[in-house]
């Protein structure tokens, strides 16, 4: 992109889609592993949405606790049954609704709060910025899982909404740092000064000239965070602090399997496989997005 | 200076409060720009010319501050006394700015038409449609072929010269009284430079806009300016009509700049450079700020900060030589060569 092309001799290149967003989409579409990840995620999302139609059994039905418990995988029960004679495949399918939606929604919460917080700190700058970032430093110094366990213990018995908020409100610290750095950089861009010189208000400068530069890296970071949060939610649920029975999530199925992991290994393995597949797909998409959006400044992972 | 003054900057001081001390980037600068006039502001990197430009529109960011006592009178109001909304009404509307780097001064994620139209939407609260039409009109005016198609393209699809035309279109869309052009041609090829300067001169004729042309390039000054302010060390060191400045420069720094210009037909001669570089703005030398690099400097220059001496009509110079002109003749007699030391080493120059 040399700025020294002689005036007027450059042909219109209409063949190339010009908008930066559209060209990013094009790059993403050519990235095979990202497309594979997207396909897997789409399939998982579809299955979750259509759970009542796809699942072979009622995930809560306990047809015969004695005779039908711990059945190993067969055609009738591809992933076997658990200690209460429930079909594991059906539970994983219904569990994906909880696991995926909790992960997605809590990352939306985290990304929104983190972007808002970091943007204010970066744009206003000065003492407010220092104060806000020291607060983030303090919060980041507490291990997230410990923080979650502490809050979950104090806040006895919450609904899924509570879990989403909890995961969201403990997940924005990193995003806020990322956004602050990006905004600090964007604020120094010459076109931001140019916009100020043309009389644009702070709101306009922020929305038109700063936010677009923040969106791509936040999108990549949020995608990565989804994989992370799925694992954390499973962990919390495994510890009995996340999703509560009778709701099934992959974490609780994993926990159920641990009662007799040597005898009925298929329960935990199935839940674990679902977890790993999702996280892998999410990471493939995140990597593809990073390439496509050319977002270099990302949190270490 | 026959025109009534449109802009009067008096005793402008812009300081940066950094960890390394107070950087007095602009330190008591005064000048005027008449209606329809082109004033050249010239000096090398670090002399304070860009900070002066940013200060006029109050675009200096933390830790920079315009010191109390500075005044910038424009259209009968002191820009430094306006509230935020007041200065926004001036920016882009009555005073517009053209930046140096046409690539970075445009937002890569919006079409150039959107970006030109944005100015009209901010100031004239024009409808989307009307603003777009006006943007296309402006592209026509700045000489961009196929303006309707170009308007819906992104900055990276245009060449450097075209992008600079887009910036000019953005600056002129509200028909401002004053355009501050900060090194508008520095990033361009020489041939494109000439086109852009020609365009600016032509638009100025048609619209009657005043221009403050900030540059380090005396060639640009010679081409467009009618009056010149030479800056050094955050101060105005010489001010004169452009012909006077080129034929009878008074300040040794101006002399040095002129000698550092390459000229056709003077081959085989090494280009004169001004030795050394601009001292850091946190620690200007006492007395005359140019004395360390000046071949005439004597003890008075270290003791006494020179005032602006009147040399002729509309011609002032911040040099004690005005008081003791015999020293210049004496120095010339001894060195025989050009007053700025002729050095073979690269670096330094204007």
A23 pLDDT exceeds 80? no
Residue A297's Cα: distance from chain center in Å? 18
The length of chain B in residues reads 350
Question: B59–A190: do the CB atoms touch at under 8 Å?
Answer: no
Question: A20–B119: do the CB atoms touch at under 8 Å?
Answer: no
Instruction: Say which of A189, A198, A209 has its CB closest to residue B92.
Output: A198
A70 pLDDT exceeds 80? no
User: For residue B222, how many C-alpha atoms fall within 13 Å in the half-sphere facing its CB?
Assistant: 10
**Residue numbers in A near B89 (CB within 8 A):** 199
| pLDDT at site A8 | 41
From A100's Cα to the closest Cα of chain B, the distance in A is 32
In contact, A227 and A286? CB cutoff 8 Å? yes
Q: Where are the alpha helices (DSSP H) in A242-293?
A: 250-257, 265-293
Q: Please, which pLDDT band fits residue A189 given cuts at 50, 70 and 90?
A: confident
Q: Please, which pLDDT band fits residue B336 given cuts at 50, 70 and 90?
A: low
Question: A193–B160: do the CB atoms touch at under 8 Å?
Answer: no
Q: Tell me, yes or no, if A246 comes closer than 8 A to chain B by beta carbon.
A: no
A4-8, A116-120, A219-223, B204-208, range with greatest mean pLDDT: A116-120
| pLDDT at site B26 | 94
**Residue numbers in B near A200 (CB within 8 A):** 88, 92, 118, 122
A4 pLDDT exceeds 70? no
> In 3D, which of B237, B280, B241 has the Cα closest to residue B256?
B237
| pLDDT at site A260 | 78
B337 pLDDT exceeds 60? no
Q: Tell me, yes or no, if A197 comes closer than 8 A to chain B by beta carbon.
A: yes
| pLDDT at site B12 | 95
| pLDDT at site A13 | 44
Burial A48-79 (b: 16+ CB within 10 A, else e): beebeeebebebeeeeeeeebbbbeeeeebeb
Mean pLDDT of chain B: 87
- Tell whether pTM > 0.90: no
Q: Tell me, yes or no, if A19 comes closer than 8 A to chain B by beta carbon.
A: yes
Q: Please, which pLDDT band fits residue B6 given cuts at 50, 70 and 90?
A: very high
For B146-172, how does the pLDDT look when each residue is reduced to its tens digit (9 = 90+)? 999 999 999 888 988 899 999 999 999
Across A180-184, B125-129, B150-154, least confident range: B125-129
Using the 8-state DSSP alphabet, how is residue B296 labeled? S
More confident residue, A146 or A300: A146
| pLDDT at site B265 | 66
DSSP reduced 3-state for B312: strand
In contact, A273 and A291? CB cutoff 8 Å? no
B245 pLDDT exceeds 70? yes
- C-alpha span between B45 and B63 (Å, rounded): 20
**A223: Cβ–Cβ under 8 A, 6 or more apart, which residues?**
A282, A285, A286, A289
- C-alpha span between A145 and A142 (Å, rounded): 9
**Residue numbers in B near A198 (CB within 8 A):** 91-92, 96-97, 118-119, 122, 170
Q: Tell me, yes or no, if B105 comes closer than 8 A to chain A by beta carbon.
A: yes
For B75-121, how does the pLDDT look when each residue is reduced to its tens digit (9 = 90+)? 989 999 999 999 999 999 999 999 888 778 898 888 999 999 999 98
Q: Which of residues 283-342 of B touch A (CB under 8 A)?
A: none
Using the 8-state DSSP alphabet, how is residue B35 labeled? T
Tokens representing B115?
């970006």
| pLDDT at site A26 | 81
């Amino acid at each position: 992109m040399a700025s020294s092309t002689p005036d007027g001799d450059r042909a219109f290149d209409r063949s190339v889609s010009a908008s930066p967003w559209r060209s990013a989409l094009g790059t993403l579409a050519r990235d095979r592993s990202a497309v594979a990840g997207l396909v897997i995620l789409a399939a998982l999302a579809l299955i979750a949405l259509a759970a009542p139609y796809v699942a072979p059994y009622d995930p809560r039905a306990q047809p015969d606790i004695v005779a039908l418990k711990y059945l190993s995988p067969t055609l009738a029960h591809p992933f076997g049954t658990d200690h209460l004679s429930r079909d594991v495949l059906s539970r994983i399918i219904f569990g994906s609704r909880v696991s995926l939606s909790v992960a997605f929604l809590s990352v939306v919460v985290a990304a929104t709060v983190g972007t808002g917080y970091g943007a204010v700190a970066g744009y206003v700058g000065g003492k407010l910025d220092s104060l806000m970032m020291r607060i983030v430093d303090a919060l980041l110094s507490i291990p997230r899982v410990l923080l979650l366990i502490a809050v979950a213990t104090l806040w006895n018995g919450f609904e899924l909404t509570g879990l989403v908020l909890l995961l969201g409100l403990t997940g924005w610290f990193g995003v806020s740092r990322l956004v602050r750095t990006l905004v600090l950089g964007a604020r120094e861009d010459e076109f931001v000064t140019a916009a100020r010189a043309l009389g644009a208000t702070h709101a306009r400068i922020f929305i038109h000239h700063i936010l677009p530069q923040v969106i791509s890296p936040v999108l990549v970071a949020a995608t990565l965070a989804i994989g992370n949060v799925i694992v954390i939610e499973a962990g919390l649920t495994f510890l009995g602090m996340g999703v509560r029975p009778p709701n099934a999530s992959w974490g609780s199925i994993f926990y159920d399997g641990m009662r007799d992991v040597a005898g009925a290994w298929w329960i935990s393995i199935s839940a674990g496989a679902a977890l790993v597949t999702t996280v892998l797909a999410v990471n493939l998409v995140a990597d593809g997005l990073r390439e496509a959006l050319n977002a270099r400044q990302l949190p270490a992972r | 200076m026959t025109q009534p003054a449109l802009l009067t900057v008096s005793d402008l001081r812009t300081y940066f409060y950094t960890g390394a001390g107070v950087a007095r980037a602009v330190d008591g600068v005064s000048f005027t720009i008449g209606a329809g006039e082109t004033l050249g502001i010239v000096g090398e990197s670090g002399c304070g010319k860009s900070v002066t430009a940013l200060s006029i529109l109050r675009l200096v960011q933390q830790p920079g501050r315009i010191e109390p006592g500075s005044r910038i009178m424009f259209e009968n109001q002191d820009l430094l006394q306006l509230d935020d909304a007041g200065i926004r009404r001036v920016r882009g509307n009555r005073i517009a700015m053209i930046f140096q780097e046409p690539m970075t001064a445009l937002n890569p994620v919006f079409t150039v038409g959107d970006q030109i139209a944005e100015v009209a939407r901010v100031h004239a609260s024009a409808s989307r449609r009307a603003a777009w039409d006006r943007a296309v009109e402006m592209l026509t005016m700045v000489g961009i072929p196929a303006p309707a198609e170009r308007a819906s393209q992104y900055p990276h699809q245009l060449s450097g010269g075209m992008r600079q035309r887009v910036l000019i279109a953005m600056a002129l869309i509200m028909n401002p009284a004053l355009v501050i052009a900060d090194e508008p041609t520095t990033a361009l090829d020489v041939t494109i430079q000439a086109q852009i300067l020609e365009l600016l001169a032509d638009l100025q004729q048609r619209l009657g806009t005043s221009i403050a042309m900030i540059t380090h390039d005396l060639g640009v000054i010679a081409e467009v300016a009618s009056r010149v302010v030479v800056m050094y060390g955050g101060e105005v060191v010489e001010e004169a009509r452009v012909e006077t400045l080129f034929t009878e420069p008074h300040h040794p720094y101006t002399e040095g700049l002129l000698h550092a210009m390459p000229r056709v037909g003077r081959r085989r001669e090494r280009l004169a450079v001004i030795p050394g570089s601009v001292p850091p703005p946190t620690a200007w030398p006492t007395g005359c700020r140019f004395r360390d690099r000046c071949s005439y400097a004597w003890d008075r220059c270290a003791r006494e900060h020179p005032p602006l001496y009147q040399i002729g009509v509309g011609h002032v110079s911040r040099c004690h030589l005005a008081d003791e002109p015999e020293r210049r003749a004496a120095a010339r007699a001894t060195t025989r060569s050009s007053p700025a030391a002729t050095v073979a080493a690269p670096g330094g120059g204007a």
